Structure 1
Amino acid sequence: MLVRDAMSPVILTIGPAHTLRQAARLMADRRVGSAIVFDPDTSVLGILTERDILNSVGAGQDPDREPAYAHTTTDAVFAAPGWTLDEAAAAMSRGGFRHLVVLDDREPVGVMSVRDIIRCWLGAPRPSLGAVAGAAAG
């Protein structure tokens, strides 16, 4: 099975100036564990995960004042839709992370999580997109 078959095509995109609280609220509302952070001024693409928010709050930082860009991983490993699930899992294992942004021709087309890989390996059905309707936000 390939990443394109297993990834979630629902992408939450936020700007670098969103606060961590805003990001957390959007992620919780959409039941996703990550957000793509895109800076239109620099075309920098990165990822903010639930772990990034947890680390900030755990360090005593104010989620209402902390901007997403300060916690965004911009040197992220990106997956291609044609990667196998084994390739995606290996990249996650090597890098010690749980989410991959899937790029097709340098454009984000989905997000792959460890949960997606496990679901596919177990043959479990994909959750309905209706459960996370409206998950793309600017």
Structure 2
Amino acid sequence: MPTLVQDAMSTVVLTIGPTHSLRQAAELMSARRVGAAVVLDPDAGGIGILTERDILNSVGAGQNPEQETAQGHTTTDVVFAGPRWTLHEAAQAMAHGGFRHLIVLDEQEPVGVVSVRDIVRCWSGIPDAYDATVSAG
């Protein structure tokens, strides 16, 4: 059973810019089957995260996803995980911060994203349904 973040994280890292519309971000996230996008904005200090919840909150507030940009909804006060963190450390950081995704950095570069779903999947020993579909396909 994997016990480190590097064993559980998704290495599919969707990277977008701050000017992507929320619709574009949602389309890209859906196509890659990920719940978060890493937002690279060198002008605003580097790396942020845009999650499915950020998009949902915007649409739920009546904002137009064609006009709203990632920049306006990106979390920039991000907690990062290291690939050698234990899953327990990652789960504690998520519970403490009230979020469901951690960007995994290795030498200041995003190398993955770990989610609550990834951790639960590892701890339960149940393979990811998407992985099973892909490998059977």
TM-score by length of 2: 0.90
Q: Which runs of 5+ in 1 are unaligned?
A: 132-138
Q: Which runs of 5+ in 2 are unaligned?
A: none
Residue pairs, 1:29-68, within 5 angstroms: 29-42=31-44, 44-68=46-70
- Matched with 2:119 is 117
- Matched with 1:5 is 7
Aligned-pair identity in percent equals 68
- Matched with 1:71 is 73
| Residues 63-110 of structure 1: CA deviation (Å, up to 9, x unaligned) | 000010100001111000111000000000001100000001110000
SS in 1 for 2:94: helix
TM-score by length of 1: 0.89
Q: CA deviation at 1:124?
A: 2.2
SS in 2 for 1:119: helix
- Matched with 2:28 is 26
| Rounded Cα–Cα distance in structure 2 between residues aligned with 1:102 and 1:53 | 21
SS in 2 for 1:111: strand
SS in 2 for 1:69: helix
